[in-house]
Structure 1
């Protein structure tokens, strides 16, 4: 939290520090929009501050925040201003929005940053442990696609799976495996200057801020991983690279936005991969009961349920 608070104008730091401890501990997002009051997202809902008028985020606050995020050197953030986000110490990700400068239909950078979304990285050690009996069989990790809507825990599960795959699980006699992460959005490992801020295991190599389609084959050729970790697949070029990786004998753990396997099959870019049954397991996430966290169900490669929602909890 200290690394986040130091970026905020003092007025907003004070508001967050005044909130109850359970609110700070469960913060998911801090949203700042020019001309609007501070918004705190707690357990997927907006926190209503009792008996207090929240301060309005102004243009001068946005300028001050951007200066602090860039350490008063905006030219060093050219790539981040093009991508629309920056990862800071602790693995936290700050989404940026505002006026965009384009050239020939391509984004050059965000010129006037007036909206910020600070997404707090909270590693949950052991979150994926209930999945191990379904994903590790006969001495190998099965190719798996994790499906869920935003904020259902897809990246959290992938991160914890990476940690366990890379380090092994001695009490279950599961050995460590060479693991590679293609972290296009810097969310799994949360790298800063190439160094992971999250615990992703000692035998893990990371290609940070690298496009997935190119990164998968780069990782296979250069680092020879036994398991490949990829977040948020969906483009046609991602599918082509995924086919190559799976056919190269590498187990792939990936995630995709969606509500069900049926819905994903209706997406033209993903349909060929799913119809070819390249994944051995599908993990479906939902957030039906926020007080209990995220629900998980597991399907086999034919789409048949092998673990019902009520049996596995995250």
Structure 2
């Protein structure tokens, strides 16, 4: 099943006609935004467009197709295979992963128990984010984060939407598989937001390599401990670290002999140093390599790779 089929089959019948009739290249489609009684919006080639009633791209909302409540209800039925209850754990986190690894963000009325969200009802907002793998995108940086079969503790620094998860995903795949003549590495992935592996029914929809084990929808700090105790990873990979619990788990993993590959939001090493928790790890030179992405140049653009002393090893 190709990407177009994977997306169209979870949309209401009317929305399928609209999206199919718009002649979109689904390989370049990034998001579909649905809101009750609001215009149909897509993010396509990094730009926002309305889809109008003639199924055409439009920069104006004047003639935009308006999404109805019935279309939202029907779409949620297809997304959940007519059983929202079966996806209750995912919904309380605000998203459902569908076949193909595409992530459906949802919002509506939160049902709470104290300060915890138990469920969502009256779902009136849907954001379908299409999964895009770029296999090979990590190839240029591998010589900087590996020496023979040794992986350096690596931190990928990027602003939101800068391509850090895509890069992390391909690093995991390549070090897991190993080069044709080399040894692969056992990798443990804690995929808290189900974005790295994008598991559907427990099976990763993204290729993370043949020696990779995944804990899906598990808090990073808890998951790192679980993987170390149960799966004996040589490398642990996590996305978007930041909490105190994350830092403690990272230090525990290092003391257990695991190598780390992690990502964090930021624009430079100096920016990260100023953050109170992770800044300490940077000052203590825990990370041996830093990869800085610059989304202003291009999504996934590698601006700099440097070592723990700040020596620039690569400049884009």
- 1:299 counterpart residue number: 306
Gaps of 5+ in 2: 51-56
Aligned counterparts, 1:138-217, within 5 A: 138-170=148-180, 173-217=181-225
Equivalent pairs counted in the alignment come to: 305
What per-residue deviation string (whole Å, max 9, x for no partner) do you get for residues 36-81 of structure 1?
1111102322135149933111222221111111111121111112
Are residues 54 and 13 of structure 1, via their aligned partners in 2, closer, same or farther at CA, if it must alter by over 3 Å? farther
The CA deviation at 1:190 is 1.0
Gaps of 5+ in 1: 310-314
What per-residue deviation string (whole Å, max 9, x for no partner) do you get for residues 209-263 of structure 1?
1111011011011111111111111111001000110121111111111122222
- 1:46 counterpart residue number: 48
RMSD: 1.7
Residue 55 of structure 1 is aligned with which of 49, 65, 84? 65
Contact 1:92–1:118 (8 Å) recurs in 2: yes
Structure 1 segments of 4+ aligned residues over 4 angstroms from their partners: none
- 1:12 counterpart residue number: 15
Structure number having the greater helix percentage: 1
- 2:127 counterpart residue number: 117
Are residues 143 and 119 of structure 1, via their aligned partners in 2, closer, same or farther at CA, if it must alter by over 3 Å? same
Distance in 2 between the 1:19 and 1:65 partners? Answer: 18
Are residues 303 and 99 of structure 1, via their aligned partners in 2, closer, same or farther at CA, if it must alter by over 3 Å? farther
- 1:2 counterpart residue number: 5
What per-residue deviation string (whole Å, max 9, x for no partner) do you get for residues 235-294 of structure 1?
11001000110121111111111122222222223222222211111111112234x863
What per-residue deviation string (whole Å, max 9, x for no partner) do you get for residues 60-107 of structure 1?
222111111111112111111210011111111111112212221221
- 2:281 counterpart residue number: 273
The CA deviation at 1:138 is 4.4
SS in 2 for 1:254: strand
The CA deviation at 1:20 is 3.9
Distance in 1 between the 2:107 and 2:314 partners? Answer: 40
The CA deviation at 1:174 is 3.6
Are residues 296 and 15 of structure 1, via their aligned partners in 2, closer, same or farther at CA, if it must alter by over 3 Å? farther
Matched, 1:226 2:234: yes
- 1:36 counterpart residue number: 38
- 2:54 counterpart residue number: none
Residue 97 of structure 1 is aligned with which of 98, 107, 111? 107
Contact 1:288–1:295 (8 Å) recurs in 2: no
Distance in 2 between the 1:302 and 1:115 partners? Answer: 46
Distance in 1 between the 2:13 and 2:315 partners? Answer: 48
- 1:312 counterpart residue number: none
- 2:256 counterpart residue number: 248
Contact 1:226–1:250 (8 Å) recurs in 2: yes
Distance in 1 between the 2:78 and 2:23 partners? Answer: 26
